[in-house]
């Protein structure tokens, strides 16, 4: 197997942190998005959406979408479980996983895409939409602070893929001036703890 | 179990179509979003995001997010499989499931939210963002037409949750004037076929 990724992108980091938590090593191939390698014919043959990461399986199949890649490794090696251990737990983890993605990580990514010079030549940047996303991210962090007041991790007692998505989303916010406000002490406590895990450096 | 839903919303329809394909019947409770029942204290106790559908389990747990609810039923009753049958197949179905959601259903929903009078008092509508989403949806349909030129269903030979998400996304586009353009004959063929399944009426 080979993981085609771009070290600096949050979606690539998701898979690396996930693999580090599992203790799985996979050969990686760096895709240079600054030179638009992800829009080359060679890469589009791997993922027509032009997005990293992409997992190349030994039979030549390409699997893209970080969540799909993480689920694949969860099945190959269930321990430690990062998507829950019973049907009900897996449903709850998936609920939190999606909330962290759709209401936190995606808005933070869209602030970046609609304000950062890197994207200025790549898309038509929409300032009003970026501001709405910034507000959504702030609201989500405020809400998450309350959630984390009485549980160690986002989905409950165990570290899961929901923590990975939230950590990486929030960390990626730095480049857009998004950070955890001082009064959000529970979110800060959680962020310190998940950042101290060895996997956070992956 | 009880499914709290709003008949007219695409996310509620996702779960109903999924259950119809499985042949599972679940008691439903209608949530009146026109009177903002979804923002009431009673509903926010079920889902603090204020979104339908929400599955109430017999032990009093609430699971929201249509994808999480569908996965839960897939585990309770694996047959017929709608998320794939092997680790690799499940990874590929999840890839297509996410593509259909993030690049087709979500943009179509955002066109609606940013242009329809129903949302005019609920959010600050952003016309430029709506236009970008309309363009994304059109590009996704064009690309999907090519994908469906040589396979019966979106993820391959079998009907899956990716077809459900795409069907409901596209159908919901009608209210915003989004439809399958005449030249997209493969997408049209697929749409006719999945629309003819009894589940489509759920």
| A71·B90 Cβ contact <8 A | yes
Q: How far away is chain A from the Cα of B199, in angstroms, using its nearest Cα?
A: 23
Contacts of A97 in chain B (CB under 8 A): 68
Q: Confidence band (pLDDT; 50, 70, 90) for A17? A: very high
pLDDT tens track for B30-65: 999 999 999 999 999 999 999 999 999 999 999 999
Over range A91-111, report the average pLDDT: 98
Q: Confidence band (pLDDT; 50, 70, 90) for A195? A: very high
Check residue A62 and give its pLDDT: 98
- The CA-atom distances, in angstroms, between A176 and each of A14, A100, B36, B128, B147 are 19, 18, 34, 21, 36
Contacts of A51 in chain B (CB under 8 A): none
Q: Confidence band (pLDDT; 50, 70, 90) for B142? A: very high
Q: What does the alpha-carbon distance between residue A61 and residue A63 come to, in Å, rounded to a whole number?
A: 7
Q: How far away is chain A from the Cα of B181, in angstroms, using its nearest Cα?
A: 21
pLDDT tens track for B145-192: 999 999 999 999 999 999 999 999 999 999 999 999 999 999 999 999
Q: Do β-strands B2-5 and B27-30 pair in parallel, antiparallel, or remain unpaired?
A: parallel
Nearest to B28 by CA among B8, B6, B50, B46: B6
pLDDT tens track for A24-61: 999 999 999 999 999 999 999 999 999 999 999 999 99
Over range A51-75, report the average pLDDT: 98
Contacts of B15 (CB under 8 A, 6+ apart): B3, B5, B53, B55, B66, B69, B70
Q: What does the alpha-carbon distance between residue A65 and residue B155 come to, in Å, rounded to a whole number?
A: 14
Q: How far away is chain B from the Cα of A91, in angstroms, using its nearest Cα?
A: 5
| B61·A132 Cβ contact <8 A | no
A1 part of contact set with chain B, CB < 8 Å: no
For the question of an ipTM over 0.90, the answer is yes
Q: What does the alpha-carbon distance between residue A71 and residue B98 come to, in Å, rounded to a whole number?
A: 13
pLDDT tens track for B89-129: 999 999 999 999 999 999 999 999 999 999 998 899 999 99
Q: What does the alpha-carbon distance between residue B100 and residue B97 come to, in Å, rounded to a whole number?
A: 5
DSSP secondary structure code for residue B143 in this structure: H
Q: What does the alpha-carbon distance between residue B182 and residue B96 come to, in Å, rounded to a whole number?
A: 24
- Please tell me which residue of chain A has the smallest CA distance to B98: A65
| B128·A132 Cβ contact <8 A | no
Q: Which of residues 77-106 of B touch A (CB under 8 A)?
A: 87-88, 90-92, 94-95, 97-99, 103
Q: What does the alpha-carbon distance between residue A4 and residue A180 come to, in Å, rounded to a whole number?
A: 31
Nearest to B89 by CA among B148, B156, B153, B19: B156
Check residue A20 and give its pLDDT: 98
| B71·A91 Cβ contact <8 A | yes
- 3-state secondary structure (DSSP) of residue A45: coil
Helices A161-173/A127-147 angle, 10° precision = 130
A56 exposure class (CB count in 10 Å sphere: 0-12, 13-18, 19+): middle
Q: Among B94, B103, B132, select the one facing A71 at the smallest CB separation.
A: B94
B24 part of contact set with chain A, CB < 8 Å: no
Q: What does the alpha-carbon distance between residue B165 and residue B17 come to, in Å, rounded to a whole number?
A: 10
Alpha-helical regions (H) of chain A: 10-22, 41-44, 66-76, 87-100, 106-115, 117-120, 127-147, 161-173, 185-196
Q: What does the alpha-carbon distance between residue B53 and residue B7 come to, in Å, rounded to a whole number?
A: 9
Question: Cis (ω within 30 of 0) for the bond into A80?
Answer: yes
Q: Confidence band (pLDDT; 50, 70, 90) for A78? A: very high
């Amino acid at each position: 197997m080979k993981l085609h990724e771009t070290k600096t992108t949050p979606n690539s980091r998701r898979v690396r942190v996930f693999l580090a938590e599992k203790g799985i090593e996979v050969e990686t191939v760096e895709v240079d998005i600054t030179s638009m390698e992800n829009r080359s014919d060679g890469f589009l043959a791997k993922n027509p959406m032009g997005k990293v990461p992409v997992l190349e399986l030994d039979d030549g199949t390409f699997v893209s979408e970080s969540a799909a890649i993480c689920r694949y490794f969860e099945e190959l090696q269930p321990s430690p479980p990062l998507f829950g251990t019973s049907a009900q737990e897996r449903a709850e983890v998936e609920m939190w996983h999606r909330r962290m993605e759709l209401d936190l990580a995606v808005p933070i990514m869209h602030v970046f895409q609609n304000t950062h010079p890197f994207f200025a030549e790549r898309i038509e940047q929409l300032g009003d939409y970026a501001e709405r996303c910034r507000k959504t991210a702030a609201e989500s962090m405020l809400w998450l602070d309350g959630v984390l007041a009485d549980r160690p991790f986002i989905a409950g007692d165990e570290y899961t893929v929901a923590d990975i998505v939230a950590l990486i989303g929030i960390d990626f916010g730095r480049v857009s001036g998004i950070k955890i406000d001082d009064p959000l002490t529970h979110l800060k406590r959680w962020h310190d703890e998940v950042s101290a895990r060895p996997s956070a450096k992956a």
